[in-house]
Structure 1
Amino acid sequence: MDRLIKPDTQSLDLFFIKGQKCSQTFDLTNLMHTMPVAISLTSSNPSIFSFPKPFAIIPPLSTLSFTIQLNNPCHNPPLSTPPNTVLVRSSMLPTGKAHQDDLRRLFSKPGPHIFKDAILPISFVGPQAAEFLLLSQPSSNNLEIDFHFSKAISRCDESDLTSLLRIAAVNGKSHFVSALIEAGADVNDKDSNRDSVMSLAVKSGEIDIVQVLIESGYVIENKIDRFLHDAAAMNRVDLMEILCLGYVNLDLDSVNSHGQTPLHLAAINGQVEALQFLISVGSEVDVTDIDGYTPLHYAAQEGHFEAVEFLLNHSVFGKYALTKDGKTAFALAVENNNLGLYDLLHLGDLLHRAARIDDVHTMKSCLAQGARVDGQDQNGWTPLHRASFKGHLESVKLLVSHGARVDVVDRTGYTPLLRAVEAGHVEVAMHLLSHGAKASLKSLKGMVNCDVESFKNHPSLVNTLHQEKEKA
């Protein structure tokens, strides 16, 4: 026989509550049919754990209860690696009688009369112990931590597990998230504010936890969940991608309490990558919120140049859309003194129009306010292209004097010089040539049909154009 007694448990689980003493009662049974047995209980850390009855006598085939207790209340469970333990020793006691001092002397002397019946690890259980482990330990595979945590949550009900799951989601503890879900936490639980565990994970930017929740069966509710809004505001394209892949029914244009879509949130925060992703997967670029604001309105109001530029390239009517207060994106930029947006939202258009009708006064005003002299429209035309094609020499001179590039190529390969030649405007062409316009360019196929004979009184220009026709 290698032991005299049998414990009723393989570990001692103390339910931990902050600031309170905790204890655990367990039973020991004498396996001897005729012989009483003396018992000794020893903690591996006596300064932390103690026993009201460290020594006792158990009659034959009888059972006695014993209690281990935490000596002092503490804020955090006193965990150790490896775990603290209780050593259970026994010795046959034929007389069946002995005082505590006698028992202490009996077990103080090693020898074959002393049996080591059990070594019981000490664990702390309950939600407060689990929360301490969750917040204090890294989210990674560690056998000791896994042991402590699995023991701690073994005494938690579904409500406790779900609360811990929310804490794990906020703090990015993906390893603990998986353990809690396996133990019975409700992945679809929502709090009084209708915030879900998934919402907390997205707001915290925890992509690993988002993936775990998707795989664990989180059911999305398009009327409530605003995950894309949160991800868009943070410019987390990776989160948006995993959400779109995980939920084919995800509403890209769902709205929050202000009627704003994820695209609005991306625009408000100037998140260009989020804008690019959302539009690429089908978000409506000119959608309006309850105040009539499009994403472009918000980007202009906040002064996000790159976001404004991107939205303009994809918007149908955003530049001219009015809020319920009758304001354009340009008006909002002006209100907020976002000078760098004036050209994109208004001055550029005004300068192009003025160049087309030879309104030199307006052109000077636009340029003075910051309009880009080489700003291109959807066809790649600059104001100089327009003035040159219309033959407006004064406008051409003004633009060139303000630094307009004379060799900018539009989307069909034409420079302002070629537009002037195409339209038969000799003086404009000569002025451009005199200011560095190149008569020899690669994209000149369009010159073949130019009326070169109309320039016969300008032999130098005719010779140049004939040469280009031959090249073409």
Structure 2
Amino acid sequence: MSKKLKYALVGMVVIFGIAAFFMFNKYSTNKHLILGIEKNDQVLIKTELAKGADPNFRIEGGEPLIVYASNKGQADTVQLLLSFGADANATNANGWSAIQHAAAQGYLEIVKVLVGKGVSVDTHGQIATPLLLAAANGKLDVVEFLLASDANPKIADMGGATPLDAAVAGEYQAHQKNAAEDETKFRKIQEVLIQGKPLLK
């Protein structure tokens, strides 16, 4: 074997070793980042992102980290991921985005963060708008914020239901369950939707 061929082979081995090291290191930081989100450990999350973990990494099932964090109600994590370049409009395999999860579950601070980053208040994909999801789940404060942020209350879901329809259905279901407090909440949401854009407090 010639010296040139030996040097070439050695060089390839070195390059392969370096590439493998960086790939393992990237995998490790992403794994630790996911662990940080699972534990809501802001120090660990920030540390791993600073070390190069991918803010747009998708966990098993294709769930983007920002959607995963939003679904868990972690406003600080969402903010951190965004500050390191996460796609605020990323969706999971079912078409859900971070703002849709946040609106449906009443995580107002996350909705505010995402809207502040330019996410459309009328985004809906194949699901429904954040406004409809908030109305359907009785999240009055989110409904008020979205309306104040110019959300369109006339956009319907794929079945033709509007946010007002969703609130009416919610009131009916609450009545059937004798849940007076929820019934009142859904009536208030209907009033807000009919009145239109409120002033932010």
* TM score, norm. by length of structure 2: 0.66
Q: Secondary structure at the match of 1:220?
A: coil
Matched, 1:145 2:44: yes
Q: Secondary structure at the match of 2:64?
A: helix
| CA shift for structure 1 position 269 | 2.0
Q: Which has the higher contact order (CA 8 A, sep 6+)?
A: 2
- Residues 135, 167 of structure 2: 8 Å contact kept: yes
Counterpart CA distance in 1 for 2:105 and 2:117 is 19
Matched, 1:243 2:141: no
Counterpart CA distance in 2 for 1:186 and 1:174 is 15
Counterpart CA distance in 1 for 2:57 and 2:112 is 22
2:184 to 272, 288, 293: 272
- Show the 5 A alignment for 1:99-110: none
Q: Secondary structure at the match of 1:282?
A: helix
Matched, 1:15 2:25: yes
Structure 1 unmatched ranges of 5 or more = 1-12, 18-123, 285-472
- Residues 164, 190 of structure 2: 8 Å contact kept: yes
Counterpart CA distance in 2 for 1:222 and 1:214 is 11
Letter in 2 for 1:195: W
- Identify if the C-alpha distance between structure 1 residues 150 and 239 changes in structure 2 by more than 3 Å, giving closer, same or farther: same
Matched, 1:169 2:76: no
Letter in 1 for 2:114: L
Letter in 2 for 1:203: A
> Which is helix-richer, 1 or 2?
2
- Show the 5 A alignment for 1:22-421: 124-126=28-30, 128-138=31-41, 144-145=43-44, 147-151=46-50, 154-156=52-54, 158-160=56-58, 163-221=64-122, 224=125, 225-246=128-149, 248=150, 250-270=151-171, 271-282=183-194
Counterpart CA distance in 2 for 1:16 and 1:277 is 46
Counterpart CA distance in 2 for 1:157 and 1:187 is 10
Structure 2 unmatched ranges of 5 or more = 1-22, 172-182, 197-201
Number of residues of Structure 1 aligned to a counterpart in Structure 2: 159
Larger Rg, first or second structure (1 or 2): 1
| CA shift for structure 1 position 197 | 1.4
Counterpart CA distance in 1 for 2:97 and 2:159 is 20
- Residues 266, 272 of structure 1: 8 Å contact kept: no
* TM score, norm. by length of structure 1: 0.30
Write the deviation string for residues 181-232 of structure 1: whole angstroms up to 9, x where unpaired.
0111111223443322111111232111111101111023466442222212
Counterpart CA distance in 1 for 2:123 and 2:112 is 18
Counterpart CA distance in 1 for 2:124 and 2:85 is 26
- Residues 252, 283 of structure 1: 8 Å contact kept: no
CA RMSD of aligned residues (A): 3.1
- Residues 266, 275 of structure 1: 8 Å contact kept: yes
| CA shift for structure 1 position 145 | 3.3
- Residues 252, 278 of structure 1: 8 Å contact kept: no
The ranges of structure 1 where at least 4 consecutive aligned residues each deviate by more than 6 angstroms after the TM superposition are none
> Which is strand-richer, 1 or 2?
1
What is the percentage of aligned positions where both structures have the same residue?
19
Write the deviation string for residues 52-75 of structure 1: whole angstroms up to 9, x where unpaired.
xxxxxxxxxxxxxxxxxxxxxxxx
Counterpart CA distance in 1 for 2:93 and 2:195 is 30
Counterpart CA distance in 1 for 2:33 and 2:39 is 10
Letter in 2 for 1:227: P
- Residues 71, 102 of structure 2: 8 Å contact kept: yes
